[in-house]
Amino acid sequence: MSVTDLARPDIVAMKPYSSARLEAPGRGVLLNANEAPWPLFDEDEHPLELNRYPEPQPAALVEGLAERYGLPADHVLVTRGSDEGIDLLTRVFCRAGRDAILHCPPTFGMYRIAAQAQGADVVSVPRDFESGFSLDESGVLEAVRTDDRIRLVYLTSPNNPTGDVVDPAFLERLLTAAEGRALIIVDEAYAEFCPDDAFAGQVGRTPHLVVLRTLSKAWAGAGLRCGAVLADPEVISLLRRIIAPYPLATPVVSLALRGLQSDMVMRQKGLLREILRNKSRLVDLLTGRAFVRRLWPGKANFVLVRVDDAAGLLTFCAARGVILRGFPSDPALRDCIRISVGSQKDLDALEEALDAWETEL
């Protein structure tokens, strides 16, 4: 049994599109891709050869990210953010009307959206509210062992919006239970905020472990749209069968490479330190407030709070220009608000708004 046996047979059988850039090198007299022979931008303005198609998987960026994550380059697929990774995994491994994903709400919403867009079922193993939204580990194991439809199991570590991380011993048991049955996907969008809890380095140990990483959060690159699927080469090659031929725009690749240079890595470390410092101020300024019922500090760059009147507080803060995240349509989170760790100035504004709200009550 290989991971390919878990993929949709029609995707495995399909003859993939072969782009000009895949078939031939990007050097020489290039008359193979219907490109313009020269760019319209001046070279000094944009020295990027925008008239040429980009590399489908830019080698320098793949290698740079692989080095960051401590993996061989053939274990990395660069994508337009983790969202694209989730979409590719769903389309490759879930047959419409037959297969399912498993997720543990409250969690990131894109797993469900991608599954529903593909016509796959969504098996929910909800986090238990009474225990403070902790993962129902035995529920997940039971579902994976008994439900043959489940092809993808999403764990989020740290989880959005609860901030908790996956227990390595649980992941071990889950990998054993899922062998030959499903892929285990650990979404590590926030792992840089708690590097000791990361699983990326374990990718390749077993072909059914997949990790998602992104430059959107801890690399201050949400606008870049750049992420990576870390997986066994067999999974990577399945995903490459359906990824767009040129997913990464040349300027994005160029900026992402710049972001991985050593001076920027130093800056990123500075950013992480500052975020952690600001996070303790955020936790302090929420602690002990009369309207705060419960606080989940978590291990990421946000906190979750349960408050007396979430809708009222959200509106009150918004009127003061402070925008927080509420979850009005999710019954489990109706009283909860997620607050991202901002700058000191952002926290000043938040503190002022919360003080005013408290006086108003």
Q: Note whether 189 and 213 are within 8 A (CB).
A: yes
Helix orientation angle between 250-259 and 59-69, rounded to the nearest 10 degrees: 40
**Quick check: 157 binds ligand PLP (CB under 6 A)?**
no
Which of the residues 76 through 95 are near ligand PLP (CB under 6 A)? 81-83
Question: Which CB atom, from 199 or from 357, has the smaller least distance to ligand PLP?
Answer: 199
- Nearest of 327, 349, 320, 294 to residue 133 by alpha carbon: 294
HSE toward the beta carbon, residue 309, CA cutoff 13 A: 11
Instruction: Kindly list the strands in the beta sheet with 292-296, ordered across the sheet, starting from the edge strand earlier in the chain.
Output: 292-296, 302-307, 336-340, 325-326
Site string for ligand PLP, 171-190 (x = CB under 6 A): ----------------x-x-
- DSSP 3-state assignment of 327? coil
Task: For tokens 């809708």, name the residue.
Answer: 311
Sequence-distant (6+) residues with CB within 8 A of 284 are none
Question: Which CB atom, from 253 or from 354, has the smaller least distance to ligand PLP?
Answer: 253
**Quick check: 160 binds ligand PLP (CB under 6 A)?**
yes
The nearest distance, CB 333 to ligand PLP, in angstroms, is: 14
Site string for ligand PLP, 129-148 (x = CB under 6 A): --------------------
**Quick check: 69 binds ligand PLP (CB under 6 A)?**
no
The nearest distance, CB 159 to ligand PLP, in angstroms, is: 7
Backbone phi and psi for residue 58, each to the nearest 5 degrees, phi listed first:
-60, 115
The nearest distance, CB 182 to ligand PLP, in angstroms, is: 19
H/E run at residue 338: strand 336-340
Q: Note whether 183 and 89 are within 8 A (CB).
A: yes
Residue nearest to ligand PLP (CB): 81
DSSP letter at 143 equals H
Site string for ligand PLP, 197-216 (x = CB under 6 A): -----------------x-x
The nearest distance, CB 338 to ligand PLP, in angstroms, is: 10
DSSP letter at 188 equals -
Which one of residues 108, 193, 219, 357 is an interface residue with ligand PLP (CB under 6 A)?
Answer: 108
**Quick check: 227 binds ligand PLP (CB under 6 A)?**
yes
Q: How many residues bind ligand PLP (CB under 6 A)?
A: 13
Which residues form the interface with ligand PLP (CB under 6 A)? 81-83, 108, 156, 160, 187, 189, 214, 216-217, 222, 227
